Amino acid sequence: TAGLNTLAKAAGKLYFGSATDNPELSDSAYVKILSNAKEFGQITPGNSMKWDATEPTRGTFTFTNGDVIANLAKTNGQLLRGHNCVWHNQLPSWVSSGSFTAADLTTVIQNHCSTVVGHYKGQVYSWDVVNEPFNDDGTWRSDVFYNTLNTTYVSIALQAARAADPNAKLYINDYNIENSGAKATAMLNLVKQLIADGVPIDGVGFQCHFIVGSVPTSFQTVLEQFTALGLEVAITELDIRMTLPETDALLAQQAKDYQSVVQACMNVEKCVGITIWDYTDKYSWVPSTFSGQGAACPWDSNLAIKPAYNGIVAAL
The correct pick among 20, 42, 47, 65 for binding ligand XIL (CB under 6 A) is: 47
In sign, the C-alpha dihedral spanning 183, 195, 105, 90 is: positive
Closer residue to ligand XIL, CB minimum distance, 204 or 313: 204
CB-facing half-sphere around the CA of 227: CA atoms within 13 A: 18
307-315 and 248-266 helices cross at what angle (nearest 10)? 20
Closer residue to ligand XIL, CB minimum distance, 277 or 309: 277
The correct pick among 207, 225, 259, 280 for binding ligand XIL (CB under 6 A) is: 207
Instruction: Look at strands 169-174 and 203-206 and give their pairing.
Output: parallel
Beta strands in 123-181 (DSSP E): 126-131, 169-174
Judge whether 114 and 164 are in contact, CB under 8 Å. Answer: yes
| Closest residue to ligand XIL: CB criterion | 285
Name beta bridge partners: 238.
Answer: 276
Closer residue to ligand XIL, CB minimum distance, 53 or 201: 53
Quick one: residue 78, left, alpha or beta (phi over 0 = left, psi -120 to 50 = alpha)? beta
The correct pick among 237, 239, 257, 281 for binding ligand XIL (CB under 6 A) is: 237
Residue 103: helix, strand or coil by DSSP? helix
The reply to whether 237 belongs to the active site is yes
> What is the spatial distance between Cα 92 and Cα 4, in angstroms, rounded to a whole number?
36
Give me the catalytic one of 55, 224, 237, 246: 237
Q: Please give the residues from 72 up to 91 whose contact with ligand XIL meets the rule CB under 6 A.
A: none
CB of 289 to ligand XIL, least distance (A): 7
The correct pick among 35, 106, 126, 131 for binding ligand XIL (CB under 6 A) is: 131
- For position 127 contacting ligand XIL by CB under 6 A, the verdict is no
CB of 296 to ligand XIL, least distance (A): 11
CB of 252 to ligand XIL, least distance (A): 26
Exposed/middle/buried for 200, CB within 10 Å: 0-12, 13-18, 19+?
A: middle
- For position 285 contacting ligand XIL by CB under 6 A, the verdict is yes
Closer residue to ligand XIL, CB minimum distance, 23 or 292: 23
The full DSSP string for 197-261 is: TT----EEEE--EEETT---SSHHHHHHHHHTTT-EEEEEEEEEEEESSP-HHHHHHHHHHHHHH
- For position 46 contacting ligand XIL by CB under 6 A, the verdict is yes
Closer residue to ligand XIL, CB minimum distance, 17 or 46: 46
Binding residues for ligand XIL, rule CB under 6 A, total: 6
CB of 6 to ligand XIL, least distance (A): 26
CB of 275 to ligand XIL, least distance (A): 11
CB of 92 to ligand XIL, least distance (A): 15
Judge whether 25 and 66 are in contact, CB under 8 Å. Answer: no
Active-site residues, by number, are: 237
Sites of contact with ligand XIL (CB under 6 A): 46-47, 131, 207, 237, 285
